[in-house]
Chain A
């Protein structure tokens, strides 16, 4: 009797367990599908409607490339695209140089309060953009007011916000991102390689140029790609430090959306999405391939 019972009991519980597991699995699968829909459906709709042959964004009327064509003839779109590229390229080059040097200094040298600097480097990454934007706006206006009144600068000769302030701002937040990425590639770097180069007659500079730099180059390029992408689509911080005539693409898009969501917006958003995706993907691949 007892053996029958003890055989029976686990069997029922096993059946219950398996039923529960099956339900749980289904629920989790469903949850995953819904999550991905929630994440990507709006983007998908945006991309699809950028090819929609209708001014009204509500209904599918047929395929067209008209909206992409009209982007190419829009003076404001072209000029803001040019501004965006100028800012992105300039700020990426400067931030990559400074960020790489910061990363090397942090990784190689022992100096007082190194841990505190270490923490300070990460803070710009987690600071709310609105805080960064407001603080930089205040900083620039205070500085420019002081300079302009000290040197009696007015009109065109006065310092004011514009592409240069945007570029400086993008450099500022990108240094942190670049140095974090470069540091991770320096962590895997074997110091004995530098010892070996010096042992064979290379001085410090030749060692850096011939051994260290080529080996951390994937990390530097990954950092640069990330910086370029972040600069390309930054809106919040840029909005605070921009000035007359210095409109970037995200700001142009925001200005147009306030009037109405037109198919051109969908088209420009699709292009930005594709460019950003390519750059982030390339950055990820470079970071993984060590």
Chain B
């Protein structure tokens, strides 16, 4: 009887999983397979993939696009680091508020930007950082600068845009980790003679590491594929791999080449995830 119940349960769960499975296969796996297929095709009229099969696009990806790939990894890594340096203290500050209402309010403020479309927020940054924008106007009026600063279309603007866009993704998982932290351990550490610095490195950091790693992944992976921010805020040397892929899929593009770059990017991200899961397993 128990066996039959077990089997029925399995059958029911398979049945329940079917719609989700269908959705994933149709809108995730099949497009993914198309991208993989297209990456081995030749560029036809209008940049569309046509036979015969070729490895040219992969050769070109590794030949020409390494500077872009490195720049992307650099920007994404730096964004993750800055988000962590900003996000950890914020998350810690929120979690140590005594009042639940204060914590909720602060978390609400962290999430508030999500109420506005990301593109609109990026355009807002474009206006703020502009030559005749409010930031330059303020600095000029205060006499801090004599001529407008060039802030827009610079690597600084790209970094600012990425950090601004992704910092909440770091704060929330870190907050969840810090929230679960047994505060008595901090007292115990202090009682055993450890200073704040020691306590942070030996107690807080190891125990909140899962949140840090999760937050880092939530920032790093989307930052790798970002194209709106570098497109609107970047200058002549702000090209990231996301822009490269986007440009191949529109205008006088090259869909097979764009697909090949996408596959390479996917492999890079998967390797990152593999490291993350292995790291997580080792910690467990």
A joins B in a complex = no
